[in-house]
Structure 1
Amino acid sequence: MSAPLPGPVMVAAGCGGTGRELEPFCGDDGLDGLHVVTRSITLDARSGGPGPRVVEVPGGLVNAVGLPNPGLEHFLATELPWLVRAGARVLVSIAGATMGEYADLARRLARAPGVAGLEVNVGAPDDVGAGLYEVREPFHSASVIAAVRREFASDRPVLAKLRPDVSRIVEGARSCHEAGATAVVIGNAVPAAFPDGRAGGLSGPAVAPIALRCVAEVRRAHPDVPTIGCGGVRDLASANAYLDAGARAVQVGTALLHDPTTVARLRATLRTTAHLPGPEETP
């Protein structure tokens, strides 16, 4: 059985907090039926990088959060049960220092009640994800996806989250799909710098033209590879730009820090368009 594709609108990794922070802004339905990608979970807890971790710049944010999270055991004991009770369709973002860690995370999450799928973070911008498995070539990403897929049921989605690198995205998307990824999320933050020169990642509307180009390139070269657009999605027009470029769904991230009602509004409006079905109709 093939895994169903999540969508049409999703919360991007880490941008909905633990879910508790976002729920009050999601309208009458709350998180019920909404695909929520968690912050990236690692085997052991991470405190994150030094401050300031986020700086607003024209067109978006530069961030270097360092993937703070409570570790897998704490997540399974506290955050996941709450999200499941709230009705969210939980896709757990995972990150590891080795392929073995990715496989271990996938194996343990495969047994956890309420996990609808995984998103594999293999595109952290430069030093932002310090300590993670080094992904420099498409075959590195594909190897991680293959290791995860071997441990995770084929009837649940595994998403590969890649950086929007126009020169490598077609090869990376194809490799990850062939390795077992249900879809490719394009994209992660773009490598950038803080005003003081520290390495970071740029997200928000400023990266949308790059991510859109990447989605279109993958669609043109490999129309059988499902993509999910991420980067600057903030309203119906920006969401439809990704769908028109060939994406099958969109994720909302940075916009939630400015307007946490963005997901609720897009959820309602996208259901009324001809692009995609609502969550209750997703196969």
Structure 2
Amino acid sequence: MTSTTDSPLAVEFCGLDFTTPLVLLSGCVGFGEEYTRVKGFSNRDAGAICLKGTTLKPRLGNQPHRIYETPDGMLNAIGLQNPGIDKVVREILPTLDFSETLFIANVSGSSIEEYEEVTRRFDNSPISAIEINISCPNVKEGGIAFGNDPAMSAKVVEACRRATNKPLITKLSPNQTDIAGNAKGCIEAGTDAFAVINTLMGMAINIENRSPIIGNNQGGLSGPAIKPVALLKVHQVYRVCRDHGIPIIGQGGITCAEDVLEFLIAGATAVGIGTALFYDPLICGKINQGIKSYLERHELQSVMQLTGTLRLNSPKLPRCGC
């Protein structure tokens, strides 16, 4: 890729040069090939593309329905459908154009050993970085998600760290008690960055037959409905990361340039676009133009000048003590 250091949208992320702060999120663009068929779409509008979650063996995914539209969002329970690491590395990666943008692998698993092995396979590939999805259930521990237990989160990060020298991005779940404490443990275990947040868990019910609409009963809620939660989580994690130089991909409900700017100010270095791509595949170009306009209006030379610039209020306690 050509140098982007002179562009006001360029960001440095774990030693990688992103042309823009926008990242296309895992699960929303397949393995990068889906959006190349959309007229007017350009990989250059995104700083990086996260590939679909990959496991050791092929997976068919969950039974339908897998996706359901909700007010200001979407429920999904795809179930990590993918062809397995062998096919991804041997057949899919060679078809990607690494000259236009960076590609980030997404590793998923049902055991620490699976995470480690899939990460090792991606280490010997042209992938620029590896994202680990620790929201998966640990089959050896009764199905509890790795990401909801700080000790297990750290163990996954530690195992993946042994398997690669590439930048390691840990995708944190909001479905836990203390996301900042979990982030601290992951930093100590060797993560280089975070993606904050993964989807919130939710449900939709068919009132006629009184059963869940999603075949898996529950699914991950994404879209504008979760943006306020995501913003708070990004800032909470940023307060742990800032002294360690650990960057964050902020994500959750971004639909316009204003949303991106909020996440940057809250502490993100890059910002993920996901659900919005389903109704506007060309949204990245529009967002980039909006960011440029903001930078010009505020006489800023680089989008990186915004990261972590949130000015917190100093609320006073009410006189009644409530």
Partners of 2:111 and 2:145 in 1: how far apart? 5
Q: Contact 1:158–1:181 (CA<8 Å) still a contact in 2?
A: yes
- 2:98 and 2:184 mapped to 1: Cα distance? 36
Alpha carbons of structure 1 residues 132 and 267: separation in structure 2 relative to 1, 3 Å: farther
Partner residue in 2 for 1:145: 157
Alignment of 1:180-199 (within 5 A): 180-195=190-205, 196-197=211-212, 198-199=217-218
- 1:245 to 1:102, Cα distance in 2 relative to 1, 3 A: same
Corresponding residue for 1:210? 229
Q: Does residue 1:51 correspond to 2:27, yes or no?
A: no
TM-score by length of 1: 0.86
Tell me the SS of whatever aligns to 1:150. helix
AA matched with 1:173: A
Select which of 250, 253, 256 maps to 2:271: 250
RMSD: 2.7
CA deviation after TM superposition for structure 1 residue 168, in Å: 1.4
Q: Check conservation: 2:53, 2:107, Cα contact below 8 A.
A: yes
Higher relative contact order, chain-length normalized (CA < 8 Å, sep 6+): 1
Q: Which runs of 5+ in 1 are unaligned?
A: 278-283
The Cα of 1:123 is off from its aligned counterpart by 2.2
Structure 1 residues 57 and 50, CA gap change in structure 2 (3 angstroms): same
Which of 170, 179, 194 matches 2:189? 179
Change (3 A) 1:166 1:26: farther
Match of 2:303 in 1: 276
How far apart, in 1, do the equivalents of 2:266 and 2:133 lie? Answer: 23
Distance 1:31 1:126, change over 3 A: farther
1:120 maps to which residue?
A: 132
For residue 161 of structure 1, what is the aligned residue in structure 2?
Answer: 171
Instruction: Give CA deviations for 1:211-251 in whole Å, capped at 9, x if unaligned.
Output: 11111122234423422111101110111111111111100
Identity %: 32
Once the two structures are TM-superposed, the CA of residue 182 in structure 1 deviates from its matched residue by 1.3
C-alpha separation between the residues in 1 aligned to 2:247 and 2:69?
32
Equivalent position to 1:75, from 85, 88, 98: 88
Secondary structure of 2:281's counterpart equals: coil
Separation in 1, partners of 2:97, 2:67: 29
Does structure 2 conserve the Cα–Cα contact (< 8 Å) formed by 1:10 and 1:263?
A: no
Supply the distance in 2 between the matched residues of 1:29 and 1:147 (Cα, whole angstroms).
35
Q: 1:26·1:263 contact (CA, 8 Å) conserved in 2?
A: no
Query: Matches of 1:145 and 1:190 in 2, distance apart?
Result: 21
| C-alpha distance in 2 between matches for 1:96 and 1:210 | 26
Deviation at 1:108, TM superposition (A): 1.3
Based on CA coordinates, which of the two structures has the bigger radius of gyration? 2
